[in-house]
Amino acid sequence: MRVLSASSPPDLDLNDRQRDILTACIEEYIATAEPVGSRTLTKRKALEVSPATVRNCMADLEELGLLSAPHASAGRIPTPRAFRLYVERLAQRGRISAKERELISAITLRANNEPNDIDGVLREAGRVLSTVSKHATLVLMPSLEDVVFQRIEFVPVRETTVLAVFVAKSGLIQQRLVDVTFRTDRDELTHMSNYLNSLLGGKTLADVRREVLTAMHDERTAADRIMRHALFLGERALSAPPTASVVVEGERTLLDQPEFADIERMRKLLRAFEEKTMILRLLDAATTTPIEAQAAAHELTTVVLGSETSMKDIRDLAAVTATYASEDGPAGRVSVVGPTRMNYARVIPLVEMTADALSQSLAHESPSEPESD
């Protein structure tokens, strides 16, 4: 059993029957998105009790704030508090099918066949995870500041604009446009790249920045125009804002969910994905106030519910997030974003296996399904 986070729900001291009926109600709601009645549960679930007993138990769960009735004559639906309890204590780990394992394993095969196309591998991971989970996915690259630097390349774009291409030891690539105050040509830019690479290779970019600033004060550097311009260009590139480092796939799958059938809510949701800021805040909440999942095999796998954040536009969303890492750099994150009633038992192992595939892709190994707890 995993250790629950400090934000875990209080111990409601549910008895076995209450736990079984709450679990059955949540899983029926996940499957149908419809309010659940007592007769429905006794027909579809292996509950060896009468509809009247189920009805009384559901009334007790409603008093505990775990179920709510949208209409007087309708069935009940789980509350956000119930989903939080379900994720942390009730959900059981689902199995990954052979077809799903095959699709996710192909991520590593692509990495082995195209070892220099890390960006393509991350996009393929997002596409595959969206396909198997039937939800939106986000793949976040590791923070560029902490990756181990391998080389930098400068490419002329315009007369006074240069494209700086950073290549990490793990193969991750980021690009930054830099405005310069001097004219230069491709040959000089190659010399500048070679000089910086001989000085800075094997360090993190945070270390590179310090090395550049130190070298700029060296008297020998000041006397050499190419070295001086190389360091100037390196310093400007390192201080420039990074390009977008998140891959988004499958956001339109959310439009198939009944929660988002309302046109205005649909527009807000698509805008949130297009602008990314709000979605990234949801993922940040997964690391700052995580909900640990009983169905997870990895300690760093977390779930966050939009209903427990201050962001109203995404209150009906939830995110399952796992980390991936290479031997030569820090971790990135892979996430599935879907409705609060997503099938966590299925989604959690899919996210974890995709994270494993990315980690092993960067190490050029083969992924394997993590063991269940």
Q: What are phi and psi of 242, to 5 degrees?
A: -70, 155
Chain CA centroid to CA 75, Å: 34
CA distance 24 to 138: 30
On whether the CB atoms of residues 30 and 318 are closer than 8 A, the answer is: no
Please name which of 141, 152, 149, 88 lies closest in space to residue 119, comparing C-alpha atoms. 141
Nearest-5° Cα angle at 341, 339 to 344: 100
On whether the CB atoms of residues 186 and 220 are closer than 8 A, the answer is: no
CA distance 83 to 293: 11
Look at the block and give the residue holding tokens 């991750």: 172
**H or E stretch including 248?**
strand 246-249
CA distance 265 to 316: 10
What contacts 34, CB < 8 A, 6 or more positions away? Answer: 75
On whether the CB atoms of residues 85 and 65 are closer than 8 A, the answer is: no
Look at the block and give the residue holding tokens 């789980």: 78
Domains of the chain (ranges, CATH numbers) = 16-90 (1.10.10.10), 98-141+245-362 (3.30.450.40), 145-239 (3.30.390.60)
Could you tell me the two tokens for 372? Answer: 């269940």
Based on its alpha-carbon atoms, the radius of gyration of the chain, rounded to whole angstroms, reads 25
Average pLDDT, 10 consecutive residues per value, the chain (373 residues): 41 84 94 90 81 92 92 82 93 93 86 67 91 92 69 85 80 77 84 84 75 72 73 76 70 85 81 78 74 84 87 85 75 90 95 92 54 43
Amino acid identity at 82: A
Q: Identify the three-state secondary structure at position 329.
A: coil
Side by side, the strands of the sheet bearing 149-158 are 149-158, 161-168, 173-179
CA distance 303 to 1: 16
Question: DSSP letter string over 123-179?
Answer: HHHHHHHHHHHTSEEEEEPPPGGGSBEEEEEEEEEETTEEEEEEEETTS-EEEEEEE
Q: What was the pLDDT predicted at 328?
A: 58
CA distance 357 to 102: 11
Q: What are phi and psi of 321, to 5 degrees?
A: -130, 135
Q: What was the pLDDT predicted at 47?
A: 80
Q: What was the pLDDT predicted at 112?
A: 64
CA distance 106 to 127: 12
Chain CA centroid to CA 103, Å: 19
Could you tell me the two tokens for 146? Answer: 């902490």
Q: Which long-range contacts (CB under 8 A, 24 or more apart) does 32-37 make?
A: 33/257, 33/258, 33/259, 33/341, 34/75, 35/69, 35/70, 35/71, 35/74, 35/75, 35/76, 35/77, 36/75, 36/76, 36/77, 37/74, 37/75, 37/76
CA distance 142 to 325: 8
Helical spans, DSSP H, in the chain:
16-32, 38-44, 51-63, 80-85, 98-113, 118-133, 186-200, 205-215, 219-223, 225-239, 263-275, 277-288, 344-362
CA distance 192 to 135: 45
Q: What's the predicted TM-score (pTM) here?
A: 0.75
